[in-house]
């Protein structure tokens, strides 16, 4: 960035300097030319008014090295020239300034000199006797003026380069200072950006930074929770196995402990399955292709299988609604229905009921699972969608819950760009509505 500012500043200065030099040279040369012409005019008028013959008589007065004076007859032949012998000079009628003077009284012209980078300025004026008096002088050409200034121009360029290096150094330090300050205090929302234009950019960075921190924290929490969740059944399995190994239990207890070992192993399997499932859902790139599916038909299929789970507590399961097509993946819909209905059975009461309803609502397919169970206290309703969050830990474990079911549901709904609503009242029941 520093280098860029340096080089740009230098570039701008060079362009400005070049433009300024060229335009000033032009303006100056224009003025200079005017002055030369004016001097010649004055000189010619002076000679005319004083009477050229007087001067010609006294040649010493005309031996001015800077000004050439030519006196021309009306036929173009030269009567007198202070720089050359008049006899050898050719006819001057073809000189534009002389021609113009004969025709209009005065004439002027500028011609390149034989001398390099010099120009000759001519001014001719008609005399009272019909002859023409011409005065001429040599002056620098534009290139000459420019070249003569080149030394000072090079000096100014070097001076500007040095100045630019210094100025751009201070400028970049000043410009970058607030950005540097921000980089150091990216967590501090109260710190002022210093540049209004950078504010949206900084807010975006802050948001992203917060997201990264939040996701790192949730990953950390998840890892800690997973380790803890896996440790509990593994410790139990290890303990029971140790007792059996050391023959510290009688025959009857062996069967009981073996059953406990199996139960804990099953728990581990469902935990690991849910963890794998969540991590699959986290990888959005691996989302399977969506096809058109009938949500009602799938719900009917799943309820058939889940009814056996409900028998133990004599829970009635019913399905209402109508056929409803939804763009989805069958595996995901099965997971969604199973998790919601299993919870409705798991957290229900003896002789309770579960009602599943499939319906349309504007552009959405609606799946509503209601139960007459234990309900969820108000202050915990938001948290039940968090990974491993359980209202009643022991009840969840006893009934084979992993604490990940609703997190999976939430994830699936998010993949569908859908939404979830939860209504619940303790001891009355819960109803979870999913819009896909």
Cα(73)–Cα(85) distance, integer angstroms:
15
**Cβ 275 to ligand ADP shortest distance, Å:** 12
Q: For residue 415, count CB atoms less than 10 angstroms from its CB and return exposed for 0-12, middle for 13-18, buried for 19 or more.
A: middle
Nearer to ligand ADP, 328 or 402 (CB): 402
Nearer to ligand ADP, 47 or 344 (CB): 344
**Cβ 283 to ligand ADP shortest distance, Å:** 20
**Cβ 375 to ligand ADP shortest distance, Å:** 6
Is 290:327 a contact under the CB 8 Å cutoff? yes
Nearer to ligand ADP, 209 or 395 (CB): 395
Nearer to ligand ADP, 72 or 384 (CB): 384
Nearer to ligand ADP, 375 or 418 (CB): 375
Q: For residue 84, count CB atoms less than 10 angstroms from its CB and return exposed for 0-12, middle for 13-18, buried for 19 or more.
A: exposed
CA angle 100, 103, 105 (to 5 degrees): 75
Nearer to ligand ADP, 167 or 391 (CB): 391
Nearer to ligand ADP, 105 or 400 (CB): 400
Cα(176)–Cα(108) distance, integer angstroms:
62
Nearest one of 407, 379, 380, 406 to 391, comparing CA atoms: 380
**Cβ 424 to ligand ADP shortest distance, Å:** 7
Q: For residue 260, count CB atoms less than 10 angstroms from its CB and return exposed for 0-12, middle for 13-18, buried for 19 or more.
A: middle
Is 193:178 a contact under the CB 8 Å cutoff? yes
Residues lying near ligand ADP in the complex (CB under 6 A) are found at: 339, 343-344, 347, 371, 373-376, 384, 389-392, 396, 401-407, 430
Is 373:431 a contact under the CB 8 Å cutoff? no
**Cβ 178 to ligand ADP shortest distance, Å:** 47
The distance between the two most distant Cα atoms of the chain, rounded to a whole number of Å, is 157
**Cβ 346 to ligand ADP shortest distance, Å:** 6
**Cβ 240 to ligand ADP shortest distance, Å:** 23
Nearer to ligand ADP, 70 or 343 (CB): 343
Is 284:250 a contact under the CB 8 Å cutoff? no
**Cβ 341 to ligand ADP shortest distance, Å:** 9
Query: Residue with structure tokens 């552009």?
Result: 363
Cα(320)–Cα(300) distance, integer angstroms:
10
Element (H, E) at 237: helix 199-245
């Amino acid at each position: 960035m520093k280098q860029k500012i340096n080089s740009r500043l230098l570039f701008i200065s060079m362009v400005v300097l070049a433009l300024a030099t060229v335009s000033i040279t032009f303006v100056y040369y224009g003025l200079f030319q005017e002055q030369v012409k004016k001097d010649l005019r004055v000189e010619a008028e002076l000679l005319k008014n004083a009477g050229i013959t007087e001067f010609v008589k006294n040649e010493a007065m005309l031996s001015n090295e800077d000004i050439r004076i030519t006196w021309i007859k009306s036929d173009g032949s030269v009567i007198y020239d202070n720089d050359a012998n008049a006899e050898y000079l050719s006819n001057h009628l073809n000189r534009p300034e002389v021609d113009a003077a004969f025709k209009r009284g005065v004439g002027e012209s500028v011609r390149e000199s034989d001398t390099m980078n010099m120009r000759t300025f001519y001014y001719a004026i008609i005399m009272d006797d019909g002859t023409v008096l011409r005065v001429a002088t040599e002056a620098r050409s534009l290139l000459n003026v420019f070249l003569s200034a080149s030394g000072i121009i090079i000096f100014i360029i070097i001076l500007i380069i040095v100045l630019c290096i210094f100025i751009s150094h201070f400028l970049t330090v000043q410009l970058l200072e607030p950005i540097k300050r921000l980089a150091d205090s990216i967590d501090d929302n109260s710190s002022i950006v210093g540049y209004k234009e950078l504010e949206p950019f900084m807010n975006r960075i802050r948001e992203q930074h917060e997201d990264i921190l939040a996701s790192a924290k949730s990953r950390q929490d998840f890892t800690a929770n997973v380790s803890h969740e896996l440790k509990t059944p593994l410790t139990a399995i290890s303990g029971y196995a140790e007792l059996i190994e050391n023959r510290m239990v009688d025959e009857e207890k062996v069967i009981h402990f073996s059953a406990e070992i199996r139960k804990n192993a099953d728990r581990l399997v469902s935990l690991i399955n849910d963890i794998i499932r969540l991590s699959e859902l986290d990888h959005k790139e691996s989302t399977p292709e969506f096809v058109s599916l009938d949500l009602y038909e799938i719900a009917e299929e799943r309820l058939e299988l889940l009814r056996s789970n409900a028998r133990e507590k004599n829970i009635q399961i019913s399905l209402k609604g109508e056929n409803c097509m939804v763009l989805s993946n069958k595996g995901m819909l099965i997971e969604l229905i199973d998790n919601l209905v299993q919870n409705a059975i798991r957290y229900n009461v003896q002789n309770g009921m579960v009602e599943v309803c499939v319906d349309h609502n504007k552009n959405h397919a609606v799946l509503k699972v209601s139960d007459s169970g234990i309900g969820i206290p108000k202050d915990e309703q938001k948290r039940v969608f968090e990974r491993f969050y359980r209202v009643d830990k022991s009840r969840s474990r006893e009934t084979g819950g992993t604490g990940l079911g609703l997190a999976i549901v939430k994830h699936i709904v998010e993949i569908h760009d859908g939404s979830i609503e939860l209504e619940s009242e303790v001891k009355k029941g819960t109803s979870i509505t999913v819009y896909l």
